[in-house]
Structure 1
Amino acid sequence: MKDFSLIIGKNLNNIRKQKNLSLDKVSELTGVSKGMLAQIEKGVSNPTVTTLWKIATGLNVSFSYFMEEEDKEIMYICHEDVKPIIENDKKMKVYPLFSYDSTRRFEVFSIELEPGCNHQSSPHNEGTEEYIIVTKGQMDVAIGETTYNLSCGDAIRYFANKSHCYRNVTDDIVNFQHIIYYFK
């Protein structure tokens, strides 16, 4: 099983050094404490989805940049081998499948929402699009002031530069595929 804590830490350290930023400056840009950033870089802290989004937005990189590994010609991913990023009191599990790379400009996740999960996502950078395809169950997606109810097989695409929320208001687990496209 991949240890994403170490991969995330290595990539955070790399982007920080490439941009010639101190931990203090990264903390200022992202709103994440210097101590937390240091723990993430060392691979001793497994950051939440919310924390990674803050860092990605503040550093102007994709969410999955932090999970990026060496590019291969063929990439096979067995679901059991992917360690999820857990959020919302263990009610949301994000499985990074295909990480962002600058040629393709998108990333793919498989996400599982437990009953009662209500994940609020901050606005992303201008031009970022999200695609959701429900593969099991039924969920609500709130974009700005409008809520869409999606059932298995339904899909939605939207610009993610406004507040959005994923909710499981049912008693069953919801699974969906999540693709994020970065315009720039």
Structure 2
Amino acid sequence: MSHDVNRMIGEKIKIIRSERKLSLDELSKLTNVSKAMLGQIERGTSSPTVSTLWKIATGLGVSFSSFVEEEAPKFSKVSIEQIDPLLEDEGRYLVHTLFPTEPKRNFEIYSVKLEPGCEYESPAHIKGVEEYLLVHNGEMSVIVEDTPHTMKAGEAFRFSADYHHKYVNQTTEACELYVIVHYT
């Protein structure tokens, strides 16, 4: 992740924390992220993992993409090549934020790539959140509350993301999909 992205994430978290008049200790208790790590993230000196950002988003009751959203113009064209991915599972889980949530839109869209052997576990999101998965290349499994669902190119899947879930690629080829996260 670039230093600009780290700085933007840190600034957004600090703004939300300040608006809610939360100390770092209070934020740590809400998110289960250490006070030291939160301080490093706010200063832009640490590159937070996807899991850490989800913990912070869930603890604050905000969307994942609210940490990287910018002022929205009347139209948007994005190119994955120009977006720094967020990485997890030793770089085998890559997330490109295509369209973050905006004030009048309660969804966000990501391009996700699961390299062979990828296993990414996601904690439960805030109540009412749904995820829509659209696989366009490869094969993967999504495990929701210990129930696996295999998906391949051309298939889509919707589930309540306020349950623990896991993305797995046990094949020898990368799996690429789009993920839409809908907030109620």
The alignment's TM-score, normalised by the length of structure 2, stands at 0.96
What CA distance in whole angstroms lies between the structure 2 residues aligned with 1:68 and 1:28? 25
Specify the SS of the correspondent of 1:41. Answer: helix
Aligned to 1:139: 140
Aligned to 2:99: 98
1:102 to partner: Cα distance: 2.9
Specify the SS of the correspondent of 1:50. Answer: helix
CA RMSD of superposed structures (Å): 1.2
CA deviations 1:31-69 (Å, max 9, x no partner) are: 111111111111111110100000001011111110111
Aligned to 1:82: 83
Aligned to 2:58: 57
Specify the SS of the correspondent of 1:45. Answer: coil
Calculate percent identity across the aligned residue pairs. 43
The alignment's TM-score, normalised by the length of structure 1, stands at 0.96
1:98 to partner: Cα distance: 0.7
Specify the SS of the correspondent of 1:77. Answer: coil
Matched, 1:112 2:113: yes
Aligned to 2:74: 73
Q: Which consecutive residues of structure 2, in runs of 5 or more, have no partner in the other structure?
A: none
Counterpart residue identity of residue 167, structure 1: V
What CA distance in whole angstroms lies between the structure 1 residues aligned with 2:62 and 2:129? 11
Q: Which consecutive residues of structure 1, in runs of 5 or more, have no partner in the other structure?
A: none
1:162 to partner: Cα distance: 1.0
1:167-182 matches, within 5 Å, as: 167-182=168-183
Specify the SS of the correspondent of 1:89. Answer: helix
Aligned to 1:32: 33
Matched, 1:12 2:52: no
- The 4+ residue runs of structure 1 with deviation greater than 3 A are none
Counterpart residue identity of residue 52, structure 2: T
What CA distance in whole angstroms lies between the structure 2 residues aligned with 1:176 and 1:40? 28
What CA distance in whole angstroms lies between the structure 1 residues aligned with 2:45 and 2:98? 22
CA deviations 1:68-118 (Å, max 9, x no partner) are: 111111111111110000101111111111111231100111011111111
Aligned to 1:129: 130
